[in-house]
Chains A and B, each alone.
Chain A
């Protein structure tokens, strides 16, 4: 370090920073009066400080960052899938992924507690509740499906290889519910195909069950479980449970569109 600042410069900086003890500050003031060069340096440093304050001020943290930090400790009640847009998320860097994983560990705990309580409420609601819990945890994990595809010809064989139920998959894109992907839900130890459709920022997960699955046949209408809307119905072959964070009416529209679209599809099966 060849150009170490001399002692006077160090003391001058310290004085401007309010870090000089009073005796030394007085001494420095005397020197400033006696030495025009030192006084000029002092003015220059003061001007520099002004310039830094004006041109390089403290910046506000971006809202996205503030939200991310808040999410680290946010209580979950109930989780909203809309805040975790799946599939469109850019590739996370390592640290981000780690951070996210840690934040989800916190969320996951809270959700886990909620679900345990839920399960104790009785067995009749069992299937729907399990599927709601699947929906919630998939949303929180940012993994609403295991195979991501808007093409039912991709999703169907994927599901067929993993489940014993032959899934009925229809294309509802023109009705505003494009297919987003599929996953397997386990209901009463039976792996059941689950189709995930998207509607704007919302998702609906439609699980198809054999007719004898316990509780799946509860008739018609839309109920609310743990903040999610659930629709259940059956046809000649299968029972269906649709879980969604969409509003009730939109879910009803989805169910109607699905059942309507199924009719020609049934013939081709």
Chain B
């Protein structure tokens, strides 16, 4: 049975974070429909945890639950997609797809980019450790330390993943006319 204090903590913490949670879940699951289920799953875990625990920093805490719920969800429902290793082969594959024409003015290309679809596709194509790191940082605005805790990776790994993710995205966009 959920006590009043647990309910109160939940109502204070979770609803304001739903946009962040939904966006993260959508990127990680590549599905708007699954994202809703993942967030609800995370919310249930949160409700259970808040019964006994007060949370100091709600955002990284709840987004960690969302991230873990997404991982569980993907393992259960899309085992094939989990063949990720996040190693160089993934990035090589991205590079091969993009080619490299050496566009003359990459910054202007980026800023003038009319169609965000290419960028979104490039983000979606990132291997999942790079993807989750990038989204947590650039969309959710978590700190390196929070991302390290959420993903169970050392801060050095977070930095490296972030740099590689951005490097891959920049290459992706650079190749576009």
Contact = CB atoms under 8 A, between A and B. Distances in A.
A225 interface: no
B15 A72 contact: no
Contacts of B21: 61
21 contacts: A3-B88, A3-B164, A10-B159, A17-B162, A45-B166, A47-B107, A48-B169, A50-B111, A51-B110, A51-B116, A55-B113, A55-B116, A58-B19, A59-B23, A65-B22, A69-B18, A95-B41, A95-B73, A99-B37, A99-B44, A102-B44
A99 B159 CA distance: 36
B75 to A, nearest CB: 13
Interface string A1-30: 111110001101110010100000000000
A3 B39 contact: no
Interface of A: 1-5, 9-10, 12-14, 17, 19, 40, 43-45, 47-62, 64-66, 68-70, 72-73, 93, 95-96, 98-99, 102, 106, 109
A68 B19 CA distance: 14
Given A51-B116, A60-B19, A99-B37, 18 more contacts: A1-B160, A3-B164, A5-B167, A10-B163, A19-B144, A45-B170, A51-B119, A51-B173, A56-B116, A56-B120, A60-B22, A61-B39, A62-B36, A66-B18, A95-B38, A95-B73, A98-B44, A102-B44
B107 A66 contact: no
B20 A10 contact: no
Contacts of B65: none
Contact of A72 (B32, B44, B173): B44
A58 B142 CA distance: 13
A102 to B, nearest CB: 6
Interface in B150-177: 159-160, 162-164, 166-167, 169-170, 173-174
Interface residues of B, number: 54
Contacts of A14: 144, 159
Most chain B Cβ neighbours within 10 Å, of A3, A9, A61: A61
Contacts of A17: 137, 144, 162
A137 B137 CA distance: 45
A58 B116 contact: no
A70 B15 contact: yes
Given A66-B15, A66-B18, A73-B11, A47 B139 contact: no
A96 B77 CA distance: 13
A58 B26 CA distance: 10
Nearest to A106: B2
Nearest to A14: B159
Contacts of B15: 66, 69-70
B119 A96 contact: no
